[in-house]
Amino acid sequence: MDLETRIAQFTKLTEEDPTNDMAFFSLANAYLQGDRHLEAAQTFAKCAEINNAMTKAYQLAGRAYIDAGKKGEAMGVLLKGYTEATTRGDLMPKNAIADMLKEIDIEVPEVADKAPIAAPAGDFKCSKSGNMGTKLARPPFRNGMGQWIQDSISKETFDEWISLGTKVINELRLDLSNDQHDAVYDYAMRVFLGLDDATYSSVMDGQSPPMPDGQFKGVVDEMMSHSGHLESFQGKMHERVE
């Protein structure tokens, strides 16, 4: 799909649902790929206005405003974004925004950090999160992949996938009795858990992993890249694969 077609598609989604923050985020990314910095900045800012938790949108809006030569607009969105990122504990956007504020000679405000969240109790280290947690009581599937998950993924992380996987099903309107749709769900799970194709083949006795078609794969990759905010797709991403 060419860039102008994607821009038109995402524009249509934002017009149909002006509260769909992820449609605005995707549209802004498309503008950015076309070097349309001001339009990208304004659209990222709209995304952040709809959903303050999308601190990455503040960061990208600020960068695009700077690249468009709009220092004043950049200052406003970056100051708001720095406060949101700091109070929400979003370290990477916070640091990136602080660097951009310094770049445009704006003092970084003093904002109280979010209180740290206690690490989950347990003596099992999850390969996905790197955190200590609880080992699954049993493999979730009766095959080599299920055993790999039990051996590698904590219960806390797998519970997170179950919640996220439900959203993937809802967003893409998957029917898991359909082999192609089941492959989409399976692919999304592997991406989330960090189970690469080579490891899958190794633990599944040489089988190749089931893969969705290219259109579904692209949508899943985009969804997984924003998994922390997947609740914000608001039931529209299925239109990308119809």
Residues paired with residue 125 on neighbouring β-strands, in sequence order: 132
By C-alpha distance, which of 96, 93, 87 is closest to 114? 87
pLDDT at 26: 86
* C-alpha dihedral (45, 49, 53, 54), degrees to nearest 10: -30
Q: Which residues contact 200 (CB under 8 A, 6 or more apart)?
A: 145, 190, 207, 208, 209
Q: pTM (2 decimals)? A: 0.54
Q: How many CB atoms lie within 10 A of CB 210?
A: 15
List pLDDT tens digits, range 193-239.
Answer: 999 999 999 999 999 999 988 778 888 887 777 654 554 444 444 55
User: Residues of the chain with pLDDT > 90: what percent?
Assistant: 51
Catalogue all structural domains in the chain, each as residue range(s) with its CATH number. 3-103 (1.25.40.10), 124-241 (no CATH)
**Overall average pLDDT of the 128-147 stretch:** 92
Q: How far, in Å, CA of 114 to CA of 126, rounded?
A: 24
Tell me which amino acid residue 192 is: F
- Asked if residue 15 has pLDDT above 80, the reply is yes
Query: How many CB atoms within 10 Å of residue 72?
Result: 8
pLDDT digits (tens, 9 = 90+) for 52-108: 888 889 999 999 999 999 999 999 999 999 999 888 777 888 999 999 999 999 999
- CA-based nearest residue to 217, from 184, 177, 181: 184
Residue 43 has pLDDT above 90, yes or no: yes
Q: Rounded distance, CA 193 to CA 65, Å?
A: 35
Is the predicted pLDDT of residue 240 greater than 80, yes or no?
A: no
Based on the number of CB atoms within 10 Å of its own CB, is 158 exposed (0-12), middle (13-18) or buried (19 or more)?
buried
Per DSSP, 154 falls in state: B
> In 3D, which of 53, 28, 55 has the Cα closest to residue 42?
28
Which residues contact residue 40 at a Cβ distance below 8 angstroms, ignoring those fewer than 6 apart? 28, 29, 31, 32, 60, 61, 64
Between CA 3 and CA 35 the distance in angstroms is: 11
Average pLDDT for residues 117-134, to the nearest whole number?
80
